[in-house]
Amino acid sequence: MSNKNNITLDSYREIAPKGTIDLAYCLAEHLKGKSILHVNSTKLGGGVAEMLLRLIPMFNDLGLKSRWEVIAGTPLFYQTTKSFHNALQGQAQAISKEMYDEYIKVNQQNIEKIPLEADLAVIHDPQPAGFILKKPKLAKWLWRCHIDISRPQRKVWNFLKSYVSKYDGAIFSLPSFAQKLDIPQFLIYPSIDPLSDKNRELSSEEINSVLNKYGIPQDKPIILQVSRFDRFKDPIGVIEAYKLAKKYNDCYLILAGGSATDDPEGLQVLNEVRQAADTDKDIFLLDLPPDANIEINALQRIATIILQKSTKEGFGLTVAEAMWKGKPVIGGAVGGIVVQIIYGQTGFTVNSVEGCANRIRFLLNNTEVVTELGKRAKEYARRNFLITRHLCDYLALIDYLLSK
């Protein structure tokens, strides 16, 4: 029962809240040998891939037979699903008939190629939702929605709903994302892995090597946002808030991100961010490769304050990662961020550039508050956002569905 780093489920006993690992073994006891299939749209980049990478070996460690398949698309398919993504998160999008047809075609092609046999399948997000048309009769299938779908563009949601309503259940990250559906709906918070390279403790040599690599000085407080270059993450708003705060409090800003392989808009947004940063030498724009886990970990550890100024967010993994590193987070008051950040206790939620700048300044002027909020953030993340809790939630749900 180990992965390439010799991490076993028991390695988490010292980290997870007491009793969590025993609960996982207990829940898995009569699920041994059951086959579980996960399908999503990218192996690398973004929160879904991040979680699956760690959950799949854990299920296998517990004696379930778990496998992960990835849908293969065309540029038009990814453009379509990106538009779906934006429309489902409430943005106006023009989606042509050709695009809907491409979605249907790519889903059909993939379900002919990908083996779908499993006792239970979890289909993640809209991209492969159409797989349901080939669901084996006796299997149970869940649609796992990772995005903020509380105010979807109706036409797109109605299209997707025609697939989603055929599932045995849907899982959302927050109660407010639940929809009018005739199938059961479940709530599961996402999670982070405290032993992954993204989140494990780092030595000072490891941290310094990252700082040297990107030429980041530490003679001033550092404000950090880690995010794909996506408009919903509001990188331009981050730069504006930093500029306002910097009039009074000297600091650096690091915007670290990359783009997921299923996100064609990333490069365009990065260029806009470059323009907004202009010639400010205290802004570091880091275009990271998808496997920059230690780099992100190190940046989160050296940051004074971490921002996640999203204007739409499902559940911000970056928020949980920052909290786990004992940092106060200033986040946009949207989606999962309002559940993740306990206002004034573990960080602050904000509704504007000015509000964000104000909170940056407050924290930079009160270093003891930074430390206190950071400590509480870490304990809150331990109880609520670790992968061991996520694993138990899945096991309980799988058990419930397979024993029906």
Residue 153 sits in the site that holds ligand UDP (CB under 6 A): no
Q: Which residues ranging from 339 to 398 are in contact with ligand UDP (CB under 6 A)?
A: none
Q: Which residues contact 351 (CB under 8 A, 6 or more apart)?
A: 332, 333
CA distances (Å), origin 101, targets 106, 204, 264: 9, 52, 19
DSSP string, 248-280: TS--EEEEEE---TT-TTHHHHHHHHHHHHTT-
Task: Read off the tokens for 45.
Answer: 């980049």
Long-range CB contacts (< 8 A, 24+ apart) of 400-403?
401/120, 401/140, 401/142, 401/168, 401/169, 402/31, 402/34, 402/119, 402/120, 402/140
In terms of phi and psi (left: phi > 0; alpha: psi -120 to 50; beta: otherwise), the region of 53 is alpha
Q: Which residues ranging from 287 to 306 are in contact with ligand UDP (CB under 6 A)?
A: 288, 292, 296
Q: Which is nearer to ligand UDP, 111 or 257 (CB)?
A: 257
Minimum CB distance to ligand UDP, residue 286 (Å): 8
CA distances (Å), origin 278, targets 85, 190, 272, 377: 30, 36, 10, 33
Residue 47 sits in the site that holds ligand UDP (CB under 6 A): yes
d(CA 116, CA 113) in angstroms, rounded, equals: 9
Query: Which residue of 126, 316, 335, 347 would you call a contact of ligand UDP, by CB under 6 A?
Result: 316
Q: Which is nearer to ligand UDP, 228 or 327 (CB)?
A: 228
Minimum CB distance to ligand UDP, residue 198 (Å): 6
Do residues 212 and 288 make contact, with C-beta atoms less than 8 angstroms apart?
no
Minimum CB distance to ligand UDP, residue 265 (Å): 12
DSSP string, 281-303: TTEEEEE--TT-HHHHHHHHHH-
Task: Read off the tokens for 11.
Answer: 């390695």
Q: Which is nearer to ligand UDP, 226 or 360 (CB)?
A: 226
3-state secondary structure (DSSP) of residue 316: coil
Interaction pattern, residues 251-270, with ligand UDP; x per rule: CB under 6 A: ------xx------------
Minimum CB distance to ligand UDP, residue 116 (Å): 25
Q: Which is nearer to ligand UDP, 315 or 348 (CB)?
A: 315
Q: Which residues ranging from 49 to 78 are in contact with ligand UDP (CB under 6 A)?
A: 50
Element (H, E) at 122: strand 120-124
Query: Which residue of 58, 226, 329, 363 would you call a contact of ligand UDP, by CB under 6 A?
Result: 226
- Indicate the residue whose CB is closest to ligand UDP: 47
Task: Read off the tokens for 94.
Answer: 């023009």
User: What is the torsional sign of CA 16, 17, 22, 28?
Assistant: negative
Task: Read off the tokens for 307.
Answer: 């921002």
Minimum CB distance to ligand UDP, residue 350 (Å): 17
Any idea which residue has 């538009």 for tokens? Answer: 83
Residue at 293: amino acid letter: N
Question: Site size for ligand UDP, by CB under 6 A?
Answer: 16
Residue 241 sits in the site that holds ligand UDP (CB under 6 A): no
Residue 225 sits in the site that holds ligand UDP (CB under 6 A): no
Q: Which is nearer to ligand UDP, 119 or 374 (CB)?
A: 374
Q: Which is nearer to ligand UDP, 119 or 193 (CB)?
A: 193
Interaction pattern, residues 320-349, with ligand UDP; x per rule: CB under 6 A: -x----------------------------
- Give me the residues paired with residue 329 across strands: 306, 347
Minimum CB distance to ligand UDP, residue 64 (Å): 24
d(CA 309, CA 286) in angstroms, rounded, equals: 17
Q: Which residues ranging from 17 to 46 are in contact with ligand UDP (CB under 6 A)?
A: 46
Q: Which is nearer to ligand UDP, 240 or 263 (CB)?
A: 263
Residue 126 sits in the site that holds ligand UDP (CB under 6 A): no
Query: Which residue of 34, 144, 228, 246 would you call a contact of ligand UDP, by CB under 6 A?
Result: 228
Q: Which stretch binds ligand UDP (CB under 6 A): 149-157, 265-273, 314-322, 348-356?
A: 314-322
Minimum CB distance to ligand UDP, residue 199 (Å): 9
Using CB under 6 A, list all residues that contact ligand UDP.
46-47, 50, 198, 226-228, 257-258, 288, 292, 296, 316-318, 321
